[in-house]
Amino acid sequence: MRFLIIRLSSIGDIVLTTPVIRCLHKQLPGAEIHFLVKKNFASILNSNPYVNKVHIWKDEISDTIEDLKAENFDVVIDLHHNLRSLKIKSGLGLKSFSFYKLNVEKWLMTALKWNRLPDRHIVDRYLDTVSSFGVKNDGAGLDFFIPMEDEVIPADISDTLNREYVAMVIGAAHYTKRLPAEKLSELLQKIPFPVVLIGGPEDRALGEMLVKGRENQVVNSCGHLNLNQSASLVRQASLVITHDTGMMHIAAAFHRPIISVWGNTIPAFGMSAYYGEIGGVDFRAEVQGLSCRPCSKIGYSKCPRKHFRCMIDQDIHGIAIKVREVLQQPT
C-alpha cells in the first residue's frame, strides 16, 4: 500500500510526525511511505530510512498535484490539515485521513482561558490517523537521522567543547517564545559548564553578543552550521536548554535531558518534549499564575500586553540550579 503523508512545515511539527512514519513502515507489511514537505524542511526527512520518497511542495499547487498523481497513491495521511492540504486531497481524489488540529479548543484557551484541551500529546493524535490500519504507537519516541557528512566533532568546532557541555538553543520562530538577551546572559553567567549556542543565521548577532567576555566558556555556532550539523551538536550535549522550538523536539528524539523554557505558549497544547515509553528528563520552566498566558497558540513579534512577564519573570537562578542537578554538580 502506498501512502502520502502531508506535513509542509515546520521543523518541530515534522519531527513530531516521525512516529507515524516509523510505525506505518514497521507494522504494515509492504507499506511504501512518501512525504510532501516544503523545500526548506526536506533535509529533516531525506535521511529517514522509513521514507521511500520526499516530495517538494511547488509554488503552483496544480504542478504539485500533477506530480503526486503520477505516484498512484492509495491513501493520503494529512497531518497538516489546512487549506493547502485540502486542495491536495481534493486534487488527488483519494481516501484520506486528517489530524484534528484543536483550533477551537486552542482559541478557547488563548482567548477565554477555558481549558477544553485533551490531555494527549500531538504525537498520539497524529497516530490516530493511521489507527484504522491497525497501527499502534510503538513507544519508541521521535526519530531524527543525521547524514554522515553532517556529523560534527565538537572539539573541532572549539577546544571549549572537548568535554561535557551544554547546548543552549537561543532562537525561536517568534519573539514571545524567546528569553530576552539579558536573561540569556544572566543564565550563561550562572552555568559552570562549557556552553555551545545553537541557532540559525538570524541568531548569529545575538550569539556574538552573548559570547563577548565569555570566549573561554561559550561557543557561538549560530549561523555557522546547517540544521543537521546543529542537531549533531545537540545529540552529543549532556544537557539541552531550549525554548519551545523545533530543536527541542530534535533533542527529545536523541533522548537528551532537556530544560525547556516556555513563554506565551504552554505544554498543555500537546507539543512538549516527547520521549515515548523510554522516558527522559524534561524540566519545564514556566511563570505560573499569569492571567494572560497563553496569549497565542504560536507566538507574537512582541508582547501584546507590553510587559512580557512570561519571560521577564523567569526564575533564572532556579534554571541554573536545575542545570547543576541534571549534570550532578553540587549547588
In the chain, the number of structural domains is 2
199 within a domain of the structure (yes/no)? yes
216 within a domain of the structure (yes/no)? yes
Is a pLDDT exceeding 80 seen at residue 331? Answer: no
Is a pLDDT exceeding 90 seen at residue 328? Answer: no
The answer on 205 and 93 residing in a single domain is: no
User: Which pLDDT tens digit goes with each residue over 209-261?
Assistant: 999 999 999 999 999 999 999 999 999 999 999 999 999 999 999 999 999 99
What does the pLDDT read at residue 39?
A: 97
Task: Say how far apart CA 193 and CA 217 lie, in whole Å.
Answer: 7
The answer on 169 and 271 residing in a single domain is: yes
The answer on 99 and 33 residing in a single domain is: yes
User: Which pLDDT tens digit goes with each residue over 101-158?
Assistant: 999 999 999 999 999 999 999 999 999 999 999 999 999 999 999 999 999 999 999 9
Is a pLDDT exceeding 70 seen at residue 35? Answer: yes
CB-based contact 154:146 (threshold 8 Å) = no
What does the pLDDT read at residue 118?
A: 96
Is a pLDDT exceeding 80 seen at residue 41? Answer: yes
What is the domain extent for residue 156? 148-326
CATH of the domain at 116: 3.40.50.2000
226 within a domain of the structure (yes/no)? yes
The answer on 298 and 209 residing in a single domain is: yes
> Of 75, 102, 133, which residue constitutes the final position of a domain?
133
Look up residue 331 and give its amino acid.
T
Burial call 75-110: b when 16+ CB within 10 Å, e when fewer = bbbbbbbeeebeebbeebebebbbbeebeebbeebb
| Long-range contacts at 215-221 (CB < 8 A, ≥ 24 apart) | 216/160, 217/160, 217/188, 217/193, 218/160, 218/188, 218/194, 219/157, 219/158, 219/160, 219/161, 219/194, 219/195, 220/196, 221/157, 221/196, 221/197
The answer on 114 and 8 residing in a single domain is: yes
The answer on 27 and 65 residing in a single domain is: yes
The pLDDT mean for the chain works out to: 97
Mean pLDDT throughout 95-104?
96
The answer on 263 and 159 residing in a single domain is: yes
